[in-house]
Amino acid sequence: MFLSNRKKIRGWKRHVRKIGKWKRRVIDLDIEHLLQYQRDYAKLWIQPFYSIPRRNPPVWYNRILLEAMLDVYRSWHEKLSKLNEEFYLKLWIYDPHFINSQVVAAYKDCLHFYDQTFDVGNQEKKIQLHKCNHLREKLEMFDWQLHIDSDIYTENDLIDNIQQGLMSENEVESITGKAYKVETVHLSYGDTDKTYSVKVGDVWVGSIKKY
């Protein structure tokens, strides 16, 4: 869930310094961790934005975050390239929920772990580089694929929410009516359930171009 940005946030200089601290904390890919788990990621764990509920920083702050993420990506790419192994290294840039963005890496047995994370979006839509003119040159070094940021609800959970008074029938009907994808999933003991995928935004998945 995301909180409205109407509540005023003070101390922006301090919050900008948090970006530098985040970058220093994650910029050196932990190879030992990667060797053990074969995947790693760097989320934007910066308070008060990455919290429950989450709230998006203003656009100017997101630009600084994105620049830091590009530096982290470049550092991770250098380390992964020295392993002489095929690897997955992507930027996941969420729009409009930018604070969910992250740098994601995987290789060996987990090389294809993230292949089905997102549904594919409308590839005719292009990433809007004009929003980050000072980063345009760096962003143009990446191939960008559009995917769907979605919330997924199960029919069983929605029914439980009605029974417990957490949701009204109208609210549930609104969710199921907005779903762009409905799937039947098979549970244990032969039971089935339905999942409803509701689009809440876009995810731009980017990787540096191979020349």
Q: Is residue 83 part of a domain?
A: yes
| Of 17-31, 53-67, 73-87, 141-155, the least confident | 53-67
pLDDT confidence tier of residue 48, bands split at 50, 70 and 90: confident
Q: What is the pLDDT of residue 49?
A: 87
Q: Is residue 177 part of a domain?
A: yes
What's the pLDDT tens digit per position in 72-83? Answer: 999 999 999 999
95 beta partners: 202
119 beta partners: 148
Range of the domain at 84: 12-117
Domain count, the chain: 2
Q: How far apart are CA 148 and CA 159, in angstroms?
A: 25
185 beta partners: 193
pLDDT average, residue stretch 50-75:
91
Shared domain check, 88 and 17: yes
- pLDDT surpasses 90 at 8: no
Mean pLDDT across the chain: 90
The position carrying tokens 């919330």 is 151
What's the pLDDT tens digit per position in 94-112? Answer: 999 999 999 999 999 999 9
